[in-house]
Amino acid sequence: MKTIICFGIWILTSVMAGFAAKPVSLNSNFRGHGYEVVPIPVTWHTAKKMAEKKDGYLVSITSPEENEFVIQLIKNATNGEGADVWIGLTDEKLEGDWEWASGEKITFQNWAQGEPNNFAYAGLGGSENCVHTWKDGKWNDYAGDVRIPFIIEYDHEIEPDSDSKSSGVKPGVRLKK
């Protein structure tokens, strides 16, 4: 039991250590969509609910360019360190049948070598039904009850922020055109 608790504390401190005390940028826009990095470590299902509550969804990465944008956004939010974050891909309904939580069609995949592998934890059988990005932008299937930060995607642009000037607008708020 001590080992599990120590491992959990190590994961939490490792995840949070990457996020800067004052992030450079937690939200930005790409091709007409808004993106918000949420540095709070939560489970995949909690992240999904939080995103939906803000009228967004866990990010759906549909191209190599979008993947690179997301990785750069994470690096910006962590002063270049990078971090593992939840994305909206899951195979909870049917093992091996991956789908975006947003309902978008899968047009791009960026699995790390040997992934997805549905790794078994503590003899429980395969329990990796959710996906996160590693720091290098590669994807890994992961147990959804692990707590890591996440990215919300919006179907509209949002007010970007920076460390030099706070907009005072909460992330997720539409830009007026």
Per domain, the residue ranges of the chain are 2-20+27-154
What is residue 35's predicted lDDT score, i.e. its pLDDT?
96
* Cα 104 from Cα 163, distance rounded (Å): 33
CA angle 103, 106, 108 (to 5 degrees): 145
Q: Beta-carbon neighbour count of residue 23 at 10 Å?
A: 17
Q: Beta-carbon neighbour count of residue 106 at 10 Å?
A: 12
What is residue 79's predicted lDDT score, i.e. its pLDDT?
86
Residue 150 has pLDDT above 80, yes or no: yes
DSSP result, 95-112? TT--EETT--------BP
What is residue 173's predicted lDDT score, i.e. its pLDDT?
47
Type of residue found at 155: D
Query: Which residues neighbour 158 within 8 Å (Cβ) at sequence distance 6 or greater?
Result: 27, 29, 34, 35, 36, 171, 172, 173, 174, 175
Cα-Cα-Cα-Cα dihedral sign, residues 166, 31, 175, 27: negative
Residue 100 has pLDDT above 80, yes or no: yes
Q: Is 123 left (phi over 0), alpha (psi -120 to 50) or beta?
A: left
What is residue 119's predicted lDDT score, i.e. its pLDDT?
84
pLDDT in tens, 36-90: 999 999 999 999 999 999 999 999 999 999 999 999 999 998 888 999 999 999 9
Q: What is the CATH number of domain 2-20+27-154?
A: 3.10.100.10
**If you average pLDDT over every residue of the chain, what do you get?**
82
* Cα 149 from Cα 16, distance rounded (Å): 9
3-state secondary structure of 153: strand
What is residue 160's predicted lDDT score, i.e. its pLDDT?
80
Global pTM value: 0.79
Q: Which residue has the higher pLDDT, 17 or 127?
A: 127
